[in-house]
Amino acid sequence: MANNSNKRRSRLVDMGETPPKAVYRPPRVPPAEQWDFDIACSDQDLLRVRLRTYRNKIVDYAVMQMTSDYGTWEEVARIDCCGGTIHRHLFGRSGTVLLDHDLIRDIPERDGAWDVVHDSYEGALNEMQNNWEDNLRRWRCG
C-alpha cells in the first residue's frame, strides 16, 4: 500500500454554490468630497443630508429625518444607498423598526452605478420633504 501522506489533497469545488454578489461601493474619501447639511422642516424637525460627490456626481447619500424628542435628536426615517441598493427605513418612537431596507432601486455594480445614485438623490430628497409629517406620525405611534 502506497503512503500518500505527502500528496496534496484537493477538494472539489461545489458547483452548486453561488458566488457572492458584487455590491456597488462608492469611491472612498479622498478623492470623493463629503457634504453634510440640515434642512429645517419645522422648529423640532429636520432633514439631515449626507452627500459624497466624485467627478461632479453624487456617488453616495443618506437623507435622514430627525425630530427633537425632549432635547435629543431621534431618527424617524431614512433613505440611503448603502449595500448596493437605494432603500428606505422607518423607525418608531419606542425603538422599533417599522420598515427596514424597503427597496426603491438596485444599484448596478459597475456600468451606470454613479448615474443611478446621482439621478435618485433628488427623488429621495423630494420624498422625504413631502412625507416628513406622515413619517413623524408613524414614528409617534410606533
H or E, element range at 109: none
CA distances from 5 to 1, 2, 13, 64, 73 (A): 12, 9, 22, 60, 64
C-alpha–C-alpha distance, residues 48 and 38, integer Å? 4
- Cell digits of residue 30: 479622498
The total number of residues written for the chain in this structure: 142
Residue 43 backbone dihedrals phi, psi, to 5 degrees? -65, -30
Residue 71 backbone dihedrals phi, psi, to 5 degrees? 85, 0
Please determine, for residue 2, whether its predicted confidence score (pLDDT) is greater than 60. Answer: no
Greater confidence (97 vs 1) lies with: 97
Q: What are 1-10's contacts with CB under 8 Å, separation 24+?
A: none
- Candidates 85, 89, 90, 96; CA nearest to 120 is 85
What pTM does this model have?
0.82
Q: What is the pLDDT of residues 51-97, one digit of tens each?
A: 999 999 999 999 999 999 999 999 999 999 998 999 999 999 998 99
Confidence of residue 127 (pLDDT cuts 50, 70, 90): very high
- Cell digits of residue 69: 424628542
